[in-house]
Structure 1
Amino acid sequence: MFALDNLVRPNIRAMKPYSSARDEFQGEARVMLDANENSLGSAGPDLFNRYPDPQQRAVKAPLAKLKGVDPSQIFLGNGSDEAIDLLVRLTCTPGQDSILLLPPTYGMYEVAANLNDVRIERVPLTADFQLSPEIVSQVLASPAKLVFLCSPNNPTGNLLHAEYIEEILRGFGGLVVVDEAYADFAEAPSWTTRLAEFPNLVVLQTFSKAWGLAGLRLGMAFASPEVINYLNKIKPPYNISEATQQHALAALQDAPHFGQMREQLLTGRDWLNQQLPALAIVEEVFPSDANFLLVRFRPDATAVYDYLLGKGIVVRNRTTQPGCAGTLRLTVGTTEENEQLVQALQNFSSSR
């Protein structure tokens, strides 16, 4: 039987969280004299003289409806990175506990562990960047407090096999964090649909990718109310600004635009999938359920990377990542950006 309290650090279980009057008050305030704000207004836009709602209720209400969850199952953070850091701090005692990673994967999990003096266990994915029965067995045998499963994976772009994720959820002793930053580009259902089955499940999503709001730095974590309560207990009091909440709410109210952008990016991904394999310098284009493609180049991916930089085209060099030798990660851009990328690669190929 999963028991969250057994995972949470004892000092966090015992700590008293910071509590503002905005946390304690319910209803609509007519006179707000609790937070030493400037009641006269702002030198800039209206409404920014007041602290934002620390619980982001106005954003969580439509988001809960969209995702099919309860507001009590939502945590909003300063990007998904804040949720990653808080999950590590919530469960892992510095110098004592560990997290489990399945490389190649998103680099911020390791950064959060190092920042908090938490040991890292690594179980590499298979050669085709997948889970396997052997990997699942190693995960289930681990004493780690957290395992991070990035699906669709970054930098490889593929979904991890759902049946193996389910095995991990049923048998792993710690929290299972499924990072779905790119899930809006995949056809598989989100793991948020199965929160009720797995009290040890945390699902990460973001407004940075399909929603096109990377500049807002707004991430989402979905989990049981018990997990969310702990995250709210240890987060900074006003971690999401009023401006961010307003822009997120506007985006949620414009769902048709979200759908149009998603379809345009998927069309661009399909076009790149058709164009890139025809290039002599391209050895392999890996399957992608995300808004990017991992591409293996020959004979020298770094030379391609440097050439593109010289043309003002910035991509991600992944050649040093486990299992990713000779690869670059190419984000799907606008139609014009995609065409410029392919043209530059054609020019490099013909010059060899």
Structure 2
Amino acid sequence: MTTSTSSHPNQLLKDEIRAEALRLGFHACGFADATAAWPNGQWLADFVADGFHGDMGWMEETLERRSHPTAMWTEARSAVVLGMNYGPEHDPLTALDHPDRAAISVYAQGDDYHDVVKKRLKLLAGWMHRRFGEEVKVFVDTAPLMEKPLAQRAGLGWQGKHTNLVSRPFGSWLFLGSVLTTLDLPPDAPEADHCGSCRACLDVCPTNAFPEPNRLDARRCISYLTIELAGPIPVEFRSAMGNRIYGCDDCLAVCPWNKFAQVSSEAAFHARETLKGPSLAALAVLDDPSFRAVFSKSPVKRIGRDRFVRNVLYAIGNSGDAGLMAVVEPLLSDPASVVRGAAVWAARRLAPDRAATLRGVEEDTDVLAEWA
């Protein structure tokens, strides 16, 4: 195991970088050797070979570039791995107790973390370049860099059985970003796995998305289904979605290490009042302009209005509230077939005796399948 040592000639430089990172608002900073052996590339190759990536074709397309941190930049020598705490004020699972309201993943209730983290990364990287004269490149999770295993190697936490990063001081709630640099810096000691025999994250999954510990089948994951999947969500998963309309926090929220978690001090990550359990009825009637306005600067905006309303309609179908038929009926003739199909499913769940009489004039295959 490679560990940090004060005898390394650049130890003091590393101390400077960590101090600057904390000054800029990062809550965790660790260092890893970007050139070391990287077994995680094979893990990702196996993930794709098994088809667990679903429709995320970009994972297969960028597989080679993700195979090692230096695959994207051969000159990189060190990785500065940063974390920003987005710990919520309340237990996210309590949102599931209100079926007439939407459960939105904690990370998406505030501003888009890609923008917040990337801005800070650029500030740190610019400072490093000016201070040390070495080249730098910044990465958030939209870039083909396996950030979670890199964060474990840098000592920020470990990948739990749900494959997400777990931090001793911050629990499940760390946004990650990295600065690769040509600067040779002494690495920190990797974090050990502290999950033990705990299975809480595996057992809580509503759709059984974990075929075994440390293996995720994204095709069964509610986060994938509500965010990445463009067409109708498979019928077998719709009831299990409950009122989750964007992402799912279950496996993160149940982690026992959250007892040490802290509420985020970053205002941009605090939940907007309008996104703290908004009513499904209000969300279902959003057209494209109003959707864009409500989710301005939010990661939710990237899935578009049609996919979003699809999710809301599935949640309405799970609500058991027949009074919501008033918002479902107009959507049976929505211009988007994925919305019409979801409206059909919701109508059949809420008012099975009336659903057949509400059948519209649509003749496209996707919608007709919902009436079958």
TM class, shorter-length: under 0.3
Instruction: Specify which structure has the higher proportion of helix.
Output: 2
Q: Which protein, 1 or 2, shows the higher relative CO under an 8 Å CA cutoff with sep ≥ 6?
A: 2
Larger strand fraction of residues: 1
- TM-score normalised by L of structure 2: 0.26
TM-score (norm 1): 0.27
